[in-house]
Amino acid sequence: MDDVHKLKKLKKRRPSYQLLLLVALLLLGLLAQKLDLVDWLEVLEVSRHYAHHWWFPPLLILAMAAFYALALPGSFFMWLTGALFVPIVATLIIVIGGVGGAVGGYFVSRRLARRECARIKHQPLFNFIRRHGDFVALCAVRTFPSFPHSVINYGAGVLGLPLGYFVLSTIIGFTLKGYLYSAAIYQLTTMDEPGEFLSWQLLAPLIMLSLLFIAAKLIFGRKPSLANGP
């Protein structure tokens, strides 16, 4: 009986295959982004031939959403869309695709980590991270340059952050990033030295916005967390 009891206890402590799959998706996505396995310049050249078709923007939105939902490097679509369309149209595509993929990633991680979350939801560290994962914090990390969106999407799902605040912060983040990137790429077509522009004129506003969100978080940090609902 003692052995059976120990075995059951060991099984409860052992991570479920759903959690292992979630971690694998996240790590593979980050690795794919670092290795840059796809020749995106070739994808851009092919895309130019089809960008004028009515079905191409919806296809971009679906592809971007799928990439983000599966923790793949969806940020490329910001650059691809910015190179193919005027800033306003590109921003709209980026926001719809980014938010769709973020919500998909949220529910994928929520589903895969549900059993593990039930085990650790009363742990102090889990509650601490969840308590500080409020609307302002989500806006700060979402607007910060190069911060992996897959980490935000999956992390919010695992923590069970309120979907409404998650979606709103995602809309804000993708709107700001999407427009800045799209406008920058649009201007790059007429610039002789784009590297200097990208090094600070594009990143500085995003960093400043992120710091402003962090400052607001520190100033109003003693107020009740939005992660616990209104």
Provide the pLDDT for residue 220: 62
In whole angstroms, how large is the CA radius of gyration of the chain?
20
Provide the pLDDT for residue 192: 56
Provide the pLDDT for residue 5: 47
**For every residue of 107-168, which 3-state class applies, written as one string?**
HHHHHHCHHHHHHHCCCHHHHHHHHCCCHHHHHHHHHCCCCCHHHHHHHHHHHCCCHHHHHH
Does pLDDT of 227 surpass 60? Answer: no
- Tell me how far CA of residue 62 lies from CA of 39, 185, 206, in angstroms: 20, 22, 26
Cα–Cα distance measured from residue 208 to residue 195, given in angstroms and rounded to the nearest whole number: 20
Could you state, in order of their start, the residue ranges of all structural domains in the chain? 2-36+55-228
In tens, the pLDDT along 36-90 reads 666 667 777 888 888 889 999 999 999 999 988 888 877 788 888 988 999 999 9
Does pLDDT of 129 surpass 70? Answer: no
Cα–Cα distance measured from residue 224 to residue 196, given in angstroms and rounded to the nearest whole number: 42
- The pTM for the full model equals 0.75
